Every structure is written in C-alpha cells, then in structure tokens.
C-alpha cells in the first residue's frame, strides 16, 4: 500500500471529473444532451481499453455472470448521468457539484431499505444533518425571486441525479462481490452509448471542430477519472481516500471562476460544507464499524 500515491490519484481523478463537468457545461448551449452522453460513453471506453490491453486483461472486460444486474445498474447510472448533465446546463458548476454530494447520504438510506444494512442512530443523525445542508443549498433557488424557473429545474435535476447515483452505488455494492471493475465500467459505457444513440432521432447537430474536440475530451476525461479513482483503491484504503473525493469542490470553484466567471453564493458553500461534514462522518463511522467487526468477528450483534 502507498497511501500518498493513492491520495494523489484520487485528487487527480476529481480534477478529471470536474474537467468533464466543465466541458458539459460549455457544450450544453449548442450540443444536445444525448449527443454529449454518447460522447461520454464512447470516449470513456478508450482509456479503459488501453489500460486493459497494457495489463493483458482485455478479455475480462466483457466477462459477466449477471448481465441482468448490469442492465438495471446501467439504466440507473445513465438516468443519473442525463440528470447531472441537464443540471449542469442550468446551474453554476460549483452549485451542481455541491448538490451531487447528497449521493452518499441517499446511499445510506437505500442500503438500509433495500440491502437490509443496519444503520444506527449516529449515522441517521448524520444523514439528517446532511439533508439539512441540501435544503440550505436549495434555498437560493426556491426561496428567492431573483432566480428563474430554469435554475429551480436545474437544482431539482442535480438532486435527482444524486438520488439516482445513490441507487447506482447501492447496486454496485451488491455487484462487486462477483463482477470485475472492468466489466462494471464496460457494460455501463455500452448501455450509456446505446441509450444516448437513440436520441439521434430527436435531432443531433454537426459540431464545430472546437466542439468536437471538447466532446472527445469530455469522454476521455470521464474515462480517465474512472480509471484513476479505481487505481487509487489499489494503493490506499477506501476510508483513507473517501474524504479526498470532496476536493472536486475546489476544482469546480476554480474552473467555474476562471472559465465561466462564476462565483458561488455563500449560502450554497455553507450548505456544501454541512453536507461534506455529514458525508465525512458517515465515512468515518463506516470505517469504525469495519474495525469493530475485525476485532470481534464472532459478535453476532451489530455495533451500537
């Protein structure tokens, strides 16, 4: 294990994801979302295939024992992707990123509901506090007349994306015991490309040379970010890496300011800080429960 190297990979992954979001934000004014989604899916396959060829594991990409679960998870993830892209088209980059931080909170609720995981008082408190931060982030869009309906719709789309991604996280947790990371990434890209391609009947456009470059770039950025995030787990524990996923806010604020001249509202940043704090507590509590289980493997009762 090399924790510092793993952390570096995780931070770089967040940068690539933020760059992907910036490309989507820029292109959404002139390129249909279906066309953007198709570029993300197809472009994301390129770094995955190159990595597997280098590792000599290309055949593991399509091996699966549960195609049905891949299809269900793919639909959920694709729905989350389109809601995320549509939200990015209507919101400042930092605001959309901050609302996405609700996904782990949704995942706790969904894991307790559908996977039967025992969630005790402290984690429920963290979820409640986290959702109060979400409401705080939403308040500028719902409670003030200075924001148009497009902003309100964008906030709802970003929150819906977080909810759907929370479902996808729950599905992935259920699948990782028997499916490889390569298969999870491959089938998602294939399903996303197929669903996105159907939207061609609603009218795609011929992009300019600059737009085509950004379409290719956003796919490569997303695929590279996914690989870096996966590789980071080989060098550091998930509990060590998870807090650094929130560095995406730093990248989002910087890119939003320098590329789009966006300055996030103070109330949105305050809500984001609450959600991040709640998410970090959930991560810490998950880690503590894992340590407790290792220390007492014969304990039949869940930790308090």
DSSP state of 58: G
Say what percent of the chain tops pLDDT 90. 36
Tokens (6 digits) for 125: 């408190």
Residue 88: what pLDDT?
Answer: 92
pLDDT in tens, 180-239: 878 888 899 999 999 999 999 988 999 999 999 999 999 999 989 888 887 787 787 766
Residue 49: what pLDDT?
Answer: 92
Residues in the chain: 304
- For residues 275 and 123, what is the distance between their CA atoms, to the nearest angstrom? 13
Tokens (6 digits) for 116: 């039967």
pLDDT in tens, 12-66: 999 999 999 999 999 999 999 999 999 999 999 999 899 889 888 888 888 888 8
Instruction: Give the helix/strand (H/E) hosting 65.
Output: none
pLDDT in tens, 119-155: 778 888 888 998 898 888 888 777 655 555 788 888 8
Residue 297: what pLDDT?
Answer: 46
- 3-state SS, residue 247: helix
Which among 13, 30, 39 is positioned nearest to 217, based on CA atoms?
39
- For residues 160 and 149, what is the distance between their CA atoms, to the nearest angstrom? 16
Which among 141, 154, 160, 165 is positioned nearest to 24, based on CA atoms?
154
Q: In this structure, are residues 6 and 233 in contact, taking their beta carbons and an 8 Å threshold?
A: yes
């Amino acid at each position: 294990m090399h924790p510092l190297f793993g952390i570096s990979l995780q931070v770089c992954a967040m940068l690539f994801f933020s760059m992907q979001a910036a490309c989507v934000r820029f292109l959404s004014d002139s390129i249909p979302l279906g066309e953007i989604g198709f570029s993300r899916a197809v472009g994301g396959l390129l770094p995955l295939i190159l990595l597997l060829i280098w590792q000599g594991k290309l055949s593991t990409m399509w091996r699966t024992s549960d195609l049905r679960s891949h299809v269900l998870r793919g639909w959920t993830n694709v729905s989350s992707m389109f809601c995320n892209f549509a939200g990015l088209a209507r919101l400042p980059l930092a605001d959309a990123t901050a609302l996405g931080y609700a996904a782990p909170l949704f995942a706790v609720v969904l894991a307790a509901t559908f996977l039967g995981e025992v969630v005790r008082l402290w984690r429920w408190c963290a979820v409640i506090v986290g959702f109060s931060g979400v409401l705080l982030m939403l308040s500028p869009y719902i409670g003030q007349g200075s924001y148009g309906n497009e902003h309100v719709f964008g906030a709802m789309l970003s929150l819906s994306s977080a909810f759907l991604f929370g479902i996808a996280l729950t599905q992935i947790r259920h699948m990782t015991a028997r499916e490889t990371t390569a298969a999870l990434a491959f089938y998602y890209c294939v399903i996303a490309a197929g669903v996105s391609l159907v939207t061609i009947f609603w009218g795609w456009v011929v992009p300019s040379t600059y737009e085509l470059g950004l379409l290719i770039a956003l796919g490569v950025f997303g695929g590279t970010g996914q690989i870096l995030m996966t590789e980071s787990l080989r060098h550091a524990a998930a509990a060590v890496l998870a807090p650094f996923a929130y560095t995406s806010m730093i990248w989002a604020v910087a890119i939003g300011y320098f590329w789009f001249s966006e300055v996030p509202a103070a109330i949105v940043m305050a809500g984001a800080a609450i959600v991040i704090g709640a998410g970090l507590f959930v991560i810490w509590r998950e880690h503590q429960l894992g340590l407790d289980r290792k220390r007492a493997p014969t304990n039949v009762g869940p930790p308090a």
